[in-house]
Structure 1
Amino acid sequence: MAISRDTGDAPKRQKVQAAEVGTDILKGLADLAPATSLSRLAEHVGMPAAKVHRYLQALIASGFAEQDAATNHYALGPEALFVGLAAIGRLDVVRAATPHLSALRDELNETCFLAVWGNKGPTVVQVEQPLRAVTLVTRVGSVLPLLGSSTGLVFNAYLPDGETAPLRAEEAGMPGALDDDELHKQTTEIRATGLHHVHGLLMPGVNALSAPVFAVGEQLAGVVTVVGAASAFRAETQGRAAELLKEAAAAITARMAGTRPA
């Protein structure tokens, strides 16, 4: 008579399946960020709402998700942010840019940040704040408009049209978005100068100056931006700030491409 033995494989498979479901729900929370209802999340991940709710409770208990008491909507929790920041820190462009961002901040005493292209558009991944009593708050994880920010317009100028077209269509007609003629004009200028400046486009009274950084094969790796109050920071494509920003962008590009800056 053959005797069957429980090898323990079934419990292991169940644990793996539970981990996969939990990961899918975390991805769903990220896709629907900043927050979403239970019904919308369940529809997005293709699971029964009761099952999603059960997993959300476990994720909340571990700090990977959280629920707003006022709206009952769900969002990624602090532990998910910690893991995300750790992953961001492994990006070559962040490592390459950080010392140059710090040096640029020290030279200009203005907020300097690096943005990369994320699943929702230009996303801030590194920020260096100036040493002053009042600063402009730019947070890691912030998503900037494509057509309504200096950073976004530089991404639009250098990324393949297929990557930016859906977001352009989404933002068309929104406050601050450029029409087709003005967008074409600014895109041409950005490619010619390697810089872009705006005065109060995203926020009244705030100026910004942006430059692209590239990786091997001249692929856009990110955009470095300096922002400051209009009363003190002159965001022009000529002048000391522009020269220092271009030097920083060139140094980051050289590091990413494995070459020496020109």
Structure 2
Amino acid sequence: MAEDSRPPGSQAVVRALRVLHCFRDHGPELGATDLGRLLDLRTSTAHRLARTLVAEGFLEQDGATSRYRLGAAVAELGQALYRHRGLYRVEPLMESLAEATGTSPGLAIRSGERAVVVAGEAVDPEAGIGVYIPLHASAMGKVLMAWDPGFDTSGLGELAALTENTITDPARLAEVLVRVRADGYATNDREITPYKRTVAVPLVDELGQVRMALALRADAGSLPPERFAELAEVAKEFAPAFQRLLLRPSV
């Protein structure tokens, strides 16, 4: 067996973080039994981890049901992300882009096998909390994958079918990402929901690395595929302004 190179105590940290991820993926309230089942832990271990997170403000426990939910510390970190990344600076740009295109703009960053929307209609600016979307079924996710030189679609594991249009074959997804790089933009043609389409372009930092994705989202009826290239060009025109506000270091 290979020697574990992680520092002492890191296993407990990883377990605690996985407890928090359970609330992202499996609902707003979970009991210790639920956490143990989801993480393959003894209920007593899950309870101990949850109680530690309660003590640090990352979880709260309902006194009546003993079930756990996310705590204020999570919202505080979300607010810190919103401030530290300067996302508040792009609100006027988002409004201008919405007016110019008749769509709902959004910004996303990579988080493991998901993209997290950090600005746009899916985000609560007061709480700084966004939503996670799957990389393989979203335009923003495809952008973040396509320009990651070390990315391998086989590392995504099983690709869930969210609609009949979702790409579930890793080989086909790899081909799509080649086309995304060639076109300079990605699309989501009713792959997460049958009622929405999205176009997304990359946002690049001064080192030439794609750090975020800028998307335009609308009802499928008002955004036919024939508009994809047109909207991508508008998003590309706005991209430098977003990059100046979000991705260049202060001087």
Residue type at the aligned position of 1:115: A
Quick check: 36-45 or 114-123, which moved more? 36-45
Q: Is the 8 Å Cα contact of residues 93 and 221 (structure 1) preserved in structure 2?
A: no
Gaps of 5+ in 2: 1-12
Give the superposition deviation at 1:222. 0.9
Larger Rg: 1
Q: In the aligned structure 2, how far is the partner of 1:56 from the partner of 1:143?
A: 22
Match status 1:27 vs 2:3? no
Q: Cα–Cα, structure 1 residues 162 and 47, in superposed 2: closer, same or farther, change >3 Å?
A: farther
Match of 1:65 in 2: 60
2:143 equivalent among 121, 141, 154: 154
Give the superposition deviation at 1:184. 2.9
Q: Cα–Cα, structure 1 residues 249 and 44, in superposed 2: closer, same or farther, change >3 Å?
A: farther
Alignment of 1:242-257 (within 5 A): 242-256=232-246
Q: In the aligned structure 1, how far is the partner of 2:194 from the partner of 2:32?
A: 36
Match of 1:237 in 2: 228
Q: Which runs of 4+ in 1 moved over 6 A?
A: 23-26, 42-47
Q: In the aligned structure 2, how far is the partner of 1:189 from the partner of 1:65?
A: 46
Give the superposition deviation at 1:191. 0.8
- Alignment size in residue pairs: 224
Q: In the aligned structure 1, how far is the partner of 2:85 from the partner of 2:53?
A: 33
Classify the secondary structure of the residue corresponding to 1:80: helix
Match of 2:76 in 1: 83
Give the superposition deviation at 1:237. 3.5
Classify the secondary structure of the residue corresponding to 1:225: strand
Alignment of 1:6-45 (within 5 A): 27-34=17-24, 35=26, 36-39=30-33, 40=35
Q: Cα–Cα, structure 1 residues 27 and 138, in superposed 2: closer, same or farther, change >3 Å?
A: same
Gaps of 5+ in 1: 1-22, 130-136
Q: In the aligned structure 1, how far is the partner of 2:111 from the partner of 2:172?
A: 25
Alignment of 1:1-262 (within 5 A): 27-34=17-24, 35=26, 36-39=30-33, 40=35, 48-49=45-46, 51-52=48-49, 54-55=51-52, 58=55, 64-67=59-62, 73-77=67-71, 79-92=72-85, 94-95=87-88, 97-127=90-120, 129=121, 140-162=129-151, 165-166=154-155, 168-171=156-159, 176-235=166-225, 236-239=227-230, 241-256=231-246, 258=248
Q: In the aligned structure 2, how far is the partner of 1:174 from the partner of 1:26?
A: 29
Q: Deviations over 1:94-144 (max 9, x none)?
A: 3564442222122223211111112452001111x4xxxxxxx67742111
TM-score calculated relative to the size of structure 1: 0.68
Q: In the aligned structure 1, how far is the partner of 2:18 from the partner of 2:174?
A: 35
Q: Is the 8 Å Cα contact of residues 29 and 74 (structure 1) preserved in structure 2?
A: no
Classify the secondary structure of the residue corresponding to 1:253: helix
Give the superposition deviation at 1:203. 0.8
Quick check: 175-184 or 46-55, which moved more? 46-55
Q: Deviations over 1:12-63 (max 9, x none)?
A: xxxxxxxxxxx9886343233325542536977998455446446656xx68
Classify the secondary structure of the residue corresponding to 1:244: helix
Match of 1:14 in 2: none
Q: Is the 8 Å Cα contact of residues 24 and 45 (structure 1) preserved in structure 2?
A: no
Give the superposition deviation at 1:172. 6.3
Q: Is the 8 Å Cα contact of residues 213 and 224 (structure 1) preserved in structure 2?
A: yes
TM-score calculated relative to the size of structure 2: 0.70
Give the superposition deviation at 1:216. 2.6
Q: In the aligned structure 1, how far is the partner of 2:43 from the partner of 2:79?
A: 29
Q: Is the 8 Å Cα contact of residues 124 and 141 (structure 1) preserved in structure 2?
A: yes
Q: Cα–Cα, structure 1 residues 229 and 188, in superposed 2: closer, same or farther, change >3 Å?
A: same
Q: Is the 8 Å Cα contact of residues 92 and 256 (structure 1) preserved in structure 2?
A: yes
Classify the secondary structure of the residue corresponding to 2:222: coil
RMSD, matched Cα? 3.7
